[in-house]
Amino acid sequence: MDSKYEFVLVFSTLLYAGHGQDFGYDGNNGPNHWGEKYQHCVGKHQSPINIEEHNVRQVQLPSMVFQNFNQTPKAFALKNNGHTVITTMETDKKPVVTGGPLASDYEFVQLHFHWGANDDEGSENTINNNSFPLELHMVFYDKDYGSFEEAIEHPDGLTVLSILFSIERAARTWVVCLKPTYTGREE
């Protein structure tokens, strides 16, 4: 495939909507309070994550492997769950991500978006405290756990591929288009 995305792999136990609907992003339901209701959200592996560039260490990892990412879905569902738009799809072969820091095969479950009220905010995760207007999360579960429901009970059960978008105004036409902020290779 030609399309290029670079991504931030967020190893987090995602707050799965099925666990409860009473979390939010501000006030008493905000991220600072998630740990009170959702034990998995305590600690360093939760989102939101603020990546501070000066704390980033370069590490050598095997290549990421993306399988079945170019499958055309047979069916496609878009759902407003009250927090976000969630997309699930039916495919002959589910997309699977492995390699890199991942110890096993993670199979695609759903994707959803985080966005904000204006162009300066919206992403769940930040880089150097900077928000992005849109963040795409692709959620995968570790196939070794047999099911998504089982996987969410384990700290390494899910992997979330996060793509942060920035807005670029084309110089002459003033068309606003979204482009992935980071670029990398899909194999």
| Candidate residues 128, 171, 174, 179; the one interacting with ligand NAG per rule CB under 6 A | 128
Q: Is 45 a residue of the active site?
A: no
Nearest approach, Cβ of 108 to ligand NAG (angstroms)? 33
- Give phi and psi for 151, each to the nearest 5: -60, -35
- State the Cα–Cα distance between residues 98 and 131, nearest whole angstrom: 28
State the catalytic residue, choosing from 19, 33, 83, 154: 83
Binding of ligand NAG by 32 (CB under 6 A): no
User: Which residue in this structure is represented by tokens 């390494």?
Assistant: 156
Q: Write phi, then psi, for 34 (nearest 5 degrees).
A: -55, -40
Q: Does 55 bind ligand NAG (CB under 6 A)?
A: no
Output phi, psi for 145, to 5 deg. Answer: -85, -5
Residues 146-175 within binding reach of ligand NAG (CB under 6 A): none
Question: What are the CA-CA distances from residue 92 to residues 67, 132, 154, 173 (Å)?
Answer: 12, 34, 27, 40
From candidates 6, 36, 52, 153, binder to ligand NAG by CB under 6 A: 52
Comparing CB distances to ligand NAG, the nearer of 13 and 181 is 181
Query: Which residues are marked as active site?
Result: 83
Which residues here bind ligand NAG, judged by CB under 6 A?
52, 128-129
